[in-house]
Chain A
């Protein structure tokens, strides 16, 4: 049985993954060796020094009365073990609510996802709609293009004060920051895609006298789909980039907020954990989106 498996599956197929694991192992090893803290040695320190260090939380007494490094205090950048401890601690009760400002990591991811998806989907619908209108006519395209090009490079966070001032609600402001982040790339790409549909397709479709609606759904949309999805992918990335600082700046509960409060406590292990969470969430979402995209797009060949 085992032999058969080994025969069918060549080492070649798995070797890149093996290599990934090796790289991870080496990185962890370097990380932990760079961050290891030597054991506390009281030699050469007076009673007063020790008292001062204990008072300042550098060292704690162990059961035998000797001194140890305070395990709760970071002496350097935290090592992988410390980050793992923090992660396990956070994951112990992912859906716990301990007061208004301390929600479990599962809930925080949920809040961020909700905010993200809300803003992103809303922006995608609006952007595709207007993108198609703009792209369907050369004149409208040329007229609108300068505005899109001007607004596209504006950082979505630059909109935040204006949005907060006019909406007067931090939750909706954060949604609209995500909205702003994901609007322009999709709109620009949709307009581009629609305006560059092969003229032959349109000619054929008008020759067979398709109705406007059918032409739109069977010809224009599929033909423009690859570039629309390319735009959505770009929007997706920039929305994900925007959602974290938006939460930090607006004090809205979420993963970005988590990293802010860990930073507030100068708990670098917590900050690293928050970074990992953002990475994992982004990875899963991106993977889902690419699966979705491959369903709707076709290849020229």
Chain B
């Protein structure tokens, strides 16, 4: 623990700080509880990872610094001022601060504050380049499903983004989402391509054992479609879809939530009026061909593949339902990130870098070429090119152009997580008593991704994402439960 000069030690229970402060304070017990809750590593992983490697500048509170000459230097003085401000912010009422510190002890209080409000910010940590000697684990295995959503994760191997950031990462193809989930939980792979709702559901233990997962970055936005069999070319809206049999790739997927949302908006109950099955995407095309299913909401290339196989047409792109919706994501277990902070940082950097590269329309053709081979997607290049360049045959009207048909933006906005959880509640996958805010913050690393984007010299693609609409209805992230209950068709109680 750091030594404080007696005069300005904010952890001194006998010293009075912030005299004259007139904020209203929460009662001690609540404040203390929140305090402990927030400082629990389960809730703030990045803070934990930043606090761990001990080569920081003056503000670090780790044991190694204990013998360093202190406080006399100007830097340390400034740090103390910052820390005092932090402590004051936590305990607006000084009596509570002193009582709390008396109860838990100075050292504990200081380390708790360090873990929550590490004055060594994530930003500085992100800025600092990773030296190859620091990387704990160079050879990584990253699981993926062969779809265009995973483009940045996949192309980062052949196009050298992992290498650029000092990693020797190999991508490993899985045949289904449950397989990727089990690989992740069983540590078969170090990180994985997942559907953006999966890190949330895995963290909450919905449909699997609960394992704290992090989602540092989204992969793609948009890029999905509702594909219908050619015999349904006359279908105009969801109302014509009563009795249809649909496929989605996974229960905890944007595909499932968007299809259900789309149907329910027009009064079709997705559990009663249609049948929704979970089918691995490749089998969807074959099933559509065989006339076994009427349509699906699936990731590409399997929408475009249906057109290529002349068995289906693109009824609607999901960007027409929610422009900019998240789909797939880069996910990593909290344990791996905490145990290997530098590997994690290098991996995070590679992914964000690759995502920005993928976002540029000028690179899309090359990417299609890079990920088409058998080792990756194993798909005809012409199909991938149509998906990625956005000049495509839709199978019903002709050739269409939409360069943002699929797009790539790494920002894991917390509002997205809350929308996803609201739909989990809406369809009865989880109960409504979840702490939306805490889980969104714990899993979707919004601030960290922002810093990472900056550290790479990029600009955020959207300044903020607090409000958005899905099919014209605005979502208010401050109350996801009320939102889930507000629909005429809902299972939320």
Contact = CB atoms under 8 A, between A and B. Distances in A.
A55 interface: yes
B105 interface: no
Given A57-B380, A170-B188, A248 B175 contact: yes
A251 B283 CA distance: 16
Interface stretch (A20-28, A33-41, A94-102, A234-242): A94-102
A279 B309 CA distance: 29
Contact of B186 (A51, A52, A169, A265): A169
A13 B165 CA distance: 69
A101 B186 contact: no
Interface in A93-111: 98-102
Interface stretch (A120-128, A130-138, A192-200, A256-264): A256-264
B374 A261 contact: yes
Nearest to A266: B285
Nearest to A265: B378
Interface string B37-75: 000000000000000000000000000000000000000
Contacts of A168: 186-187
Interface in B296-331: 305, 307-310
A88 to B, nearest CB: 16
Given A251-B175, A261-B374, A266-B282, A73 B399 contact: no
B170 A100 contact: yes
B172 interface: yes
A63 interface: no
Interface in B343-384: 373-376, 378-380, 382-383
B188 A55 contact: no
Contacts of B375: 98-102
B141 to A, nearest CB: 8
B307 A261 contact: no
A57 B285 CA distance: 17
B179 interface: yes
A52 B393 contact: yes
Contacts of A51: 399
B173 A48 contact: no
Interface in B158-175: 170-175
B182 interface: yes
B309 A99 contact: no
B286 interface: yes
Contact of A56 (B182, B308, B376, B378): B308
Contacts of A57: 308, 380, 382-383
Interface in B171-205: 171-175, 179, 182-183, 186-188
B62 to A, nearest CB: 34
A98 B374 contact: yes
Contacts of A266: 282, 285-286, 305, 309
B119 interface: no
A264 B378 CA distance: 8
A264 B146 contact: yes
Interface of B: 141, 146, 157, 170-175, 179, 182-183, 186-188, 282-283, 285-286, 305, 307-310, 373-376, 378-380, 382-383, 386, 391-393, 398-399
30 contacts: A48-B398, A52-B398, A55-B391, A55-B393, A56-B307, A56-B308, A57-B382, A73-B308, A98-B373, A99-B373, A99-B376, A100-B141, A100-B170, A100-B171, A101-B171, A101-B375, A102-B375, A164-B186, A168-B186, A170-B182, A170-B183, A250-B179, A251-B172, A251-B175, A251-B179, A261-B173, A263-B282, A264-B282, A266-B286, A266-B309
